[in-house]
Homo-oligomer: A and B are copies of this chain.
Amino acid sequence: MKHFTTDTLIYHYDKSIPNVGTVKQGEEFLVDTVDAYGNQITSEKVLRTEIDRSFLSGCTGPIGVEGAMPGDTLCVEILDITFDEYGVMPMSPGMGTLGHLDRVPGHSTKMVRVKDDYCYFDENIVFPVRPMIGNIGVASENEGGLRTSWPGDHGSNMDCTHITIGSKVYFPVAKEGAGLAMGDMHAAMGDGELCQTGVETPGHVRARAYVYKESIKRPMVETDENIFTLASAEKLDDAIPVAVEDMVDFLMKKKNLDYPDAYRLLSATCDIQICQLVNPRKTVRCRAPKAILGIHSVFD
């Protein structure tokens, strides 16, 4: 199986960066990733203020996918995610959605052991892992690319909890081969990534990729139960209508409805949900339940 290691990290989703290797459609491949802090926080003695910030949000890749051309859609199927045995949760004043409250007394780091599908938060609190890929994307069409900390129409740092084992993630392709990369694994994270970290860990992803000769504007995610449209913007109020309109357009096509009825059906059955509120752009998703709507997949 082709194996992409952390020897080849990118810090921009940039179409000028050559792919480090190529996979065929449907071919399984393995990707190792560093944690969001570049594996620099190795104990509770290492604070977030002490690490080299130029190594934040490194992603493994870019990986070329044979046959992917600009205007196509790349589908990445996540077959498995495994973790190393630790996760980190650094904290500093000013972090996250409550940063303005000034209630964090100083810098600290918490190590969370991740073993046998559980996170050991402390001696009393143990919770199941909820594996997810925080950062996954393809080369951006922007000249010069976009930093891997920035989510956008090319994917990247979306922190969507539904990008997990069994999910399919769809991206608009901007260059030949697409240039897939990924990183920022979480052993657990709640929607919002509210304090600015999940249980951050290096990881290993087994995946395969397919190309559809159809276009999408922005990332979509498909699970057994749901289809999601995703959108990112600096302001939440700007991201939300983009994800909602993408879903209305999807419902119009899939259910052969006019705009008012697709908008009504969405309002009655679909949810607007938060992916993350803590990156330079915030990410939201609109959820459509497949069974309730009689929709089988993104492309069928």
**Cβ–Cβ contact A267 & B96, under 8 A:** yes
Selected contact of A127 from candidates B96, B263, B271, B293, CB within 8 Å: B293
CA distance A124 to B287 in the complex (A): 21
Return the CB mask of A239-272 against B: 1 if under 8 Å, else 0.
Answer: 0110011001000000100011101111111111
**Cβ–Cβ contact B98 & A198, under 8 A:** no
Q: Nearest B residue to A259 by beta-carbon distance?
A: B103
CA distance A91 to B241 in the complex (A): 17
Q: Nearest B residue to A251 by beta-carbon distance?
A: B125
Knowing A237-B236, A267-B197 are in contact, say whether A122-B91 is a contact too (CB < 8 A): no
A-B pairs with beta carbons under 8 Å apart, 18 shown: A89-B267, A96-B263, A97-B244, A98-B244, A98-B263, A101-B241, A103-B259, A103-B263, A104-B259, A104-B263, A110-B261, A125-B265, A191-B271, A194-B266, A194-B270, A198-B267, A236-B236, A272-B277
CA distance A269 to B266 in the complex (A): 28
CA distance A191 to B240 in the complex (A): 12
Knowing A103-B259, A104-B263, A236-B236 are in contact, say whether A268-B97 is a contact too (CB < 8 A): no
CA distance A241 to B100 in the complex (A): 9
**Cβ–Cβ contact A127 & B268, under 8 A:** yes
Return the CB mask of A59-94 against B: 1 if under 8 Å, else 0.
Answer: 000000000000000000000000000000101000
Residues of B within 8 A of A133 (CB): none
Measured between C-beta atoms, what is the minimum distance from A172 to chain B in Å?
21
Measured between C-beta atoms, what is the minimum distance from A41 to chain B in Å?
14
Say whether chain A's binding surface is mostly helix, strand, loop, or mixed: mixed
Interface flag for A192 (CB, 8 Å): yes
Query: Which of A190, A235, A236, A270 has the most C-beta atoms of chain B within 10 angstroms of its own C-beta?
Result: A190
**Cβ–Cβ contact B194 & A272, under 8 A:** yes
Interface flag for A153 (CB, 8 Å): no
Selected contact of A194 from candidates B196, B237, B244, B292, CB within 8 Å: B244
Interface flag for A189 (CB, 8 Å): yes
Interface flag for A193 (CB, 8 Å): yes
Measured between C-beta atoms, what is the minimum distance from A274 to chain B in Å?
5
CA distance A188 to B193 in the complex (A): 29
**Cβ–Cβ contact B260 & A193, under 8 A:** no
**Cβ–Cβ contact B190 & A267, under 8 A:** yes
Residues 90-116 of A at the B interface (beta carbon under 8 Å) = 91, 96-98, 100-101, 103-105, 108, 110, 112
Residues of B within 8 A of A192 (CB): 240, 244, 267, 271-272
Measured between C-beta atoms, what is the minimum distance from A91 to chain B in Å?
5
Return the CB mask of A109-146 against B: 1 if under 8 Å, else 0.
Answer: 01010000001011011011000000000000000000
Residues of B within 8 A of A103 (CB): 259, 263
